[in-house]
Amino acid sequence: MSGYAVARLEDIEEIRDGLACRPVRHHFGLTSFGVNTWTGVAVGDRILNEHDEADDAEELYLVHTGRATFELDGEQVGAPAGTFVFAPPGVRRTAFAEEPGTTILVVGGRPGEAWQPDGWELWAPVAPLFSAGRFAEAAERSRELAAANPGLPMLRYMLARCELERGDTAEAIEQLRAALVTNRMRVIAGKDPGLDSIRDDPAFRALLRS
pLDDT in tens, 101-144: 999 999 998 888 777 888 999 999 999 999 999 999 999 999 99
Mark the ranges of the chain whose per-residue pLDDT is less than 70: 1-2, 54-55
State residue 40's pLDDT score: 96
Report how far residue 24's alpha carbon sits from residue 18's, in angstroms, rounded to the nearest whole number: 18
Residues 104 and 21 in one domain: yes
Specify the 3-state DSSP secondary structure of 120.
helix
Q: What is the CATH number of the domain that holds 180?
A: 1.25.40.10
State residue 113's pLDDT score: 75
Residues 142 and 103 in one domain: no
Count of domains in the chain?
2
Residues 96 and 130 in one domain: no
In this structure, is residue 38 part of a structural domain?
A: yes
Residues 91 and 155 in one domain: no
Residues 105 and 13 in one domain: yes
The last residue of one of the domains, among 76, 109, 142, is 109
In this structure, is residue 66 part of a structural domain?
A: yes
In this structure, is residue 2 part of a structural domain?
A: no
Report how far residue 89's alpha carbon sits from residue 55's, in angstroms, rounded to the nearest whole number: 7
**Radius of gyration of the chain from its Cα atoms, rounded to whole angstroms:** 18
Sheet holding 75-80, edge to edge: 46-51, 93-97, 67-72, 75-80
Report how far residue 154's alpha carbon sits from residue 176's, in angstroms, rounded to the nearest whole number: 10
In this structure, is residue 27 part of a structural domain?
A: yes
Residues 139 and 70 in one domain: no
Residues 87 and 156 in one domain: no
Domain range for 153 is 120-209
State residue 1's pLDDT score: 45
In this structure, is residue 59 part of a structural domain?
A: yes
Model pTM? 0.81
